Amino acid sequence: MSFELSQRLSALPPYLFKELDRLRDEARARGADIIDLGVGDPDRPTPPPIIAALKEAADDPANHQYPLYSGMDAFREGVARWYQRRHGVQLKATTEICSLIGSKEGIAHFPLAFVNPGDVVLVPEPAYPVYNSGTLFAGGVPYFLPLREANGFLPDFRSVDEPVLKKAKIIWVNYPNNPTGATATVEFYADLLDWARKWNIIVASDAAYSEMTYDGRPHPSILELPGGREQAIEFHSLSKTYNMTGWRLGWAAGNESLVRGLGQVKNNTDSGVFQAVQAAGLAALEGDQEPVRAMGRLYSQRRAVLSRGLTAAGLSIFPGTATFYVWVKVPTGLKSADFSARLLNEAGVVATPGNGFGPSGEGYARFALVQEVDRLNEAANRLAGLKF
């Protein structure tokens, strides 16, 4: 017996990465040697000091009970110190920071706190699909803001018509950007905050890739701008920075009422993050940051290796300086899905079709730098042989 899905689930597009997994697995079943550059999951292990901190904390019976939904005081205080060190921002750990079971959870839940059925949420595209799905789950109406290469993949929020703005509750931004690798400036954030104040719109900034820069310098935080703490909430994740995707730990920080609203949703839907994981997260934030800088240098090296093959194949690469993604323009006459299928079938290389991130991603593909240099060299050689 099968049952009909709810309208909210039926309204969602197929989740991009599930389909990628299916196509990759089918190719492997045929015996193909697949180099998977599809899903952005770091291939290097979590640094040993973080693992050691988890082991020690897991042995402490005090961590075996329900945690606070908002997070351990020690973890939130560590996050506050991190903001002070990285961005010169002073946050109140108890009221302006909330731990998350990975930033994806917080991003998906946040609209439930502030969006009523029929309210508009301004969603960039191409983008992380959860901005859209979280809006739909809350009964909101996504209004898509195309990200164009000519504009550095920044949203033209001032082009939105007044009737839409009067219904808008939230605008999502994500820099450094997934999937394009684009970055934002303090000038961009200042303009965004000025516009958002005028229309009383919440700025929700996804900063999951802020530490993944090739030069080791932090990407600006919207909270460091005047008015940022009053108008914005920022979502962070330890997943990519410290190779902790499976650990599920992140945080939200910013305007007190926004953090409190998200916390109310979480208090009714989950029981918080295992405290031993938070102890490990604290060790990550306050430990030696050389592994983070080393990964930035490694991703820069990997990008150069893969770019050699992409360029030799006649492909155009967006010159991003952050994240571990390479955003590539698909040859004229090919659709993104057809291009990715050709790479898989003829070169055994998995890349994500750009249209999976939104209509404006059509004509592009994303490569994740999640293989060692020798495998990326092999991928580069295979791609170079295709000659688009």
Question: With 70 as the cut, is the pLDDT of residue 385 above it?
Answer: yes
Give the pairing of strands 325-329 and 364-368.
Answer: antiparallel
Q: What is the pTM of this model?
A: 0.95
**CATH number for region 11-40+290-384:** 3.90.1150.10
Residue 16 has pLDDT above 70, yes or no: no
Residue 367 banded pLDDT, cuts 50, 70, 90: very high
- The answer regarding whether domain 49-286 maps to CATH 3.40.640.10 reads yes
Model confidence at 19, pLDDT cuts 50, 70, 90, reads low
- Residues of 300-338 as b/e, b for ≥16 C-beta within 10 angstroms? bebbebbbbbbeebebebbebebbbbbbbbbbeeeebbe
Write down the pLDDT at residue 121: 98
**pLDDT > 90? residue 237:** yes
Q: Which residue has the higher pLDDT, 271 or 235?
A: 235
- Would you place residue 298 in the very low, low, confident or very high pLDDT band (cuts 50, 70, 90)? very high
- Tell me what the pLDDT averaged over the chain comes to: 94
Q: Could you tell me which residue, 381 or 21, shows the higher pLDDT?
A: 381
Q: CATH 3.40.640.10 occupies which residues in the chain? A: 49-286
All CATH 3.90.1150.10 domain ranges in the chain, comma separated? 11-40+290-384
Q: Give the percent of the chain with pLDDT over 70.
A: 98
Nearest of 33, 44, 37, 21 to residue 369 by alpha carbon: 37
Q: Is the pLDDT of residue 82 over 90?
A: yes
Give mean pLDDT, residues 227-234.
Answer: 97
Residue 17 pLDDT more than 80?
Answer: no
